[in-house]
Amino acid sequence: WTARSFEIYTSNVQTNSGVIHVVGSMVYYSLPPGNLQIDTTGTGTPLTLEKNLPVQVSKSGSVPIDGTVLEIGGASPENIIYTLEKAPEHGWLVMNGTRFLKEGDRFTQNDIGLLNVVYINDVEGHDDVITLSVVSKSGFVLEAFDFKIETD
């Protein structure tokens, strides 16, 4: 048996949400502080903003952010990663009922489908907006966009 030399194409692309690593035909996405995840969806497809509808909430009320108002297409839900670029000014985003999300925090489309992301309006009852960016584990990026919260 003799060893052969060969070349493997590698590249790294820095994004706002992490680093995309391409090794041969495999695509990896690392989230800070470096947990490496493999994309099992193959080469993937570009992300598309399928739904971005304002959500309605009452003054001092809460509402889950679900797939009827916010949905990204182009990858499976667990491979679509949202980053909170701008937090709400008149309320809070809460994950799993226990963690207040701050700018830079992440969640997936799967979290949205499971109703894990909830907006809570403050006592003033003003309309609100959050800014989100999206990346898939296969490296496709959706630029930052606003998601509106309206009080009734």
Q: Which of 42, 36, 56 is nearest to 151 (CA)?
A: 56
Chain segment 51-68, per-residue pLDDT in tens: 999 999 999 999 999 999
pLDDT at residue 43 in the model: 54
Confirm if 29 and 13 have CB atoms less than 8 A apart: no
Chain segment 74-124, per-residue pLDDT in tens: 999 999 999 999 999 999 999 999 999 999 999 999 999 999 999 999 988
30 to 34, 36, 38, 83: CA distances (angstroms): 5, 4, 9, 14
Residue 27 has pLDDT above 60, yes or no: no
pLDDT at residue 44 in the model: 65
The counts of H helices and E strands in the chain are: 1, 15
* Minimum mean pLDDT range among 84-88, 123-127, 134-138: 123-127
Phi, psi angles (nearest 5°) of residue 104: 100, -15
* Minimum mean pLDDT range among 4-13, 116-125, 134-143: 4-13
* DSSP H or E segment with residue 111: helix 109-113
Mean per-residue pLDDT over the chain, rounded: 82
18-23/10-15 β-pairing? antiparallel
For 51, what's the count of Cα atoms within 13 Å in the CB-facing half-sphere? 13
Q: Which of 149, 29, 152 is nearest to 80 (CA)?
A: 29
Residue 41 has pLDDT above 70, yes or no: no
Model confidence, pTM? 0.72
Q: How many Å apart are CA 124 and CA 96, to the nearest integer?
A: 24
